[in-house]
Amino acid sequence: MGSTISSIFFVTDYWSFMVAVAATLFCFLFATALVFRKPKLEGSPSELNSLKPRDCACLGEDSGVDSGEEMTARLSGGGKENGVEMAVDRQTGASMMEQLVPEITTHALSYLDYPSLCRLSMTNSLMRKAANDDNAWKALYHKELNTTLNPLSSYNAVMESWQLAFSWENVADFQIRDVRTRVLTDMAWVTMKVFVDIGAGPFNVTNIFEFHNGRWYMVHHHSSALLIHRGGQQQLMQA
Amino acid sequence: MAPKNKNPNGENVVPEVQQKKTQALILKSSDGEEFSISKSAAGLSVAIKNMMEDDCAGGVIPLPLVDGGTLARVITYLNKHAEDGASDEDKRKFDEEFLSGMEVDVLCDVALAGNYLDIRGLFHDVCQRIVNGMKNKSVEWVRKTFRIESDFTAEEEEQIKKEYAWAWEGVDSDAD
């Protein structure tokens, strides 16, 4: 009897001990996280520095400094020697665009219209790579198509509607028939009948694609129920 | 993690001599030039603002990625945008003039600095300005202006010209 009681006590002690250990561990982890957070913040400039050791090509000419009154500029030694090096660098220098870090290039390119973006991609292989970046095109898609088409006309709206369509649990299967394609130089349209096995179909579907920079982009999607079933009820999805 | 410079009430104690200094920060460029800038102007840079909030903006702030010429330009921009009396219209006009005088190289340097110091408005405007120079220009013109050297072979070049003939049509003249 006595041993049973003591063993119950032991069990209780064991668990409270474990709880205490867990709590201590948690506190320790939290404290460690706090300690490590600060140096990381302070270290970020040098982190950036090591990412891109660049040669500050602009240094050679300071002629553009026109803000003398507003600030007190103090030249310290050593700057001149650097200045000479930089000037030399600039002579042999590669394209400024190539010196920009990729994130900046992508960001800058997202401000271009797409014919100009395509032209840029034809200048050399590096620019081709930069101009083919999906993010630049995504930004362009957001900007261009947001303003020109209605009603489901933003990138997010289109993606959401596709997500909805694909996560629709009832759709176990669908079949596509009568696919017709017509392709012009940089535009194509595809029509088809879609039979969905929940009996709501068939749908008449039209997709329009534009060809940009070596890839086909869907710019318009329309789907409406065939009139045989429920006269005139339409489902519209446009991109 | 013992608190420094705190009085018994937990407030920061700043010696009187230093009090004036706290109104300004010193930014040091990669080539060792030092610039003083008001805290309100410097705070327009999210990177510097974060440093100030974390209390690590004391003394001189080294900016190893920004050279003196570029930093001077950035500071001119920040000062204008922190100016009390400046209306949005004033600032817009200033931005326009500020950027219109810059060569591509300078624009790229300012873009890098704007990104590094996280000055959103400046960064966006500069990027826009850079690409405006490419709009509706011929491939050759873009190569020349942005010093992009073609690494395509003659055949590849021909291929591109044939395949994307439209890109060579209706562009602005190379003369400007």
More confident residue, A24 or B19: A24
CB A186 within 8 A of CB A193: no
Which tens digits make up the pLDDT trace of B39-61? 999 999 999 999 888 877 677 89
Confidence of residue A200 (pLDDT cuts 50, 70, 90): low
The mean pLDDT value for B146-153 works out to: 87
CATH 3.30.710.10 fits B21-132, yes or no: yes
Q: Which residues of A touch B119 (CB under 8 A)?
A: none
pLDDT given at position B15: 46
The structural domain count of chain A equals 2
Instruction: Determine, yes or no, domain membership for A137.
Output: yes
Question: What strands, in cross-sheet order, belong to the sheet with B24-28?
Answer: B34-38, B24-28, B60-62
pLDDT given at position A18: 60
A199 and A171 within one domain: yes
CB contact under 8 A, B65 and A52: yes
The domain boundary, picked from A122, A148, A174, lies at A148
More confident residue, B171 or A51: B171
- How does B27-53 read in b/e, with b if 16+ C-beta sit within 10 Å? bbbbbbbbbbbbeebbbbbebbbebbe
Which tens digits make up the pLDDT trace of A125-154? 888 888 888 877 777 777 666 554 445 556
A172 and A114 within one domain: no
The mean pLDDT value for A78-104 works out to: 50
* β-strand partners of B6: B12
Indicate if ipTM > 0.85. no
**Partner residue opposite B75 with nearest CB, options A71, A95, A109:** A71
The domain boundary, picked from A120, A148, A176, lies at A148
Instruction: Determine, yes or no, domain membership for A21.
Output: no
What is the average pLDDT value for chain A, to the nearest integer? 61
The residues of chain B that CATH labels 3.30.710.10 are: 21-132
Among residues of chain A, what percentage have pLDDT more than 90?
0
Instruction: Determine, yes or no, domain membership for A86.
Output: no
pLDDT at A165 over 80: no
Neighbours of B158 (CB within 10 A): 11
CB A207 within 8 A of CB A220: yes
Instruction: Determine, yes or no, domain membership for A170.
Output: yes
CB contact under 8 A, B31 and A56: yes
A217 and A161 within one domain: yes
A179 and A156 within one domain: yes
Q: Where in the sequence is the domain holding A143, given as residue range(s)?
A: 100-148
Looking up residue A194, the CATH number of its domain turns out to be 3.10.450.50
Q: Which residue has the tokens 């083919």?
A: A132
Long-range contacts of A129-135 (CB under 8 A, 24+ apart): A130/A97, A130/A102, A130/A105, A130/A106, A131/A213, A132/A213, A132/A214, A133/A102, A133/A106, A133/A109, A135/A106, A135/A110
The domain boundary, picked from A148, A177, A205, lies at A148
A207 and A157 within one domain: yes
Which tens digits make up the pLDDT trace of A33-77? 554 444 433 333 433 333 333 333 333 333 333 333 333 333 333
Q: Which residues of B touch A52 (CB under 8 A)?
A: 65
A189 and A154 within one domain: yes
Instruction: Determine, yes or no, domain membership for A214.
Output: yes
Which of B:16-45 have CB within 8 Å of A? 30-37
B84 inside 8 A of chain A by CB: no
A111 and A139 within one domain: yes
pLDDT given at position A239: 39
Specify the pTM.
0.52
More confident residue, B87 or B4: B87
CB contact under 8 A, A96 and B73: no
Residue type, A148: T
CB contact under 8 A, B73 and A112: no
Q: Which residues of A touch B37 (CB under 8 A)?
A: 71
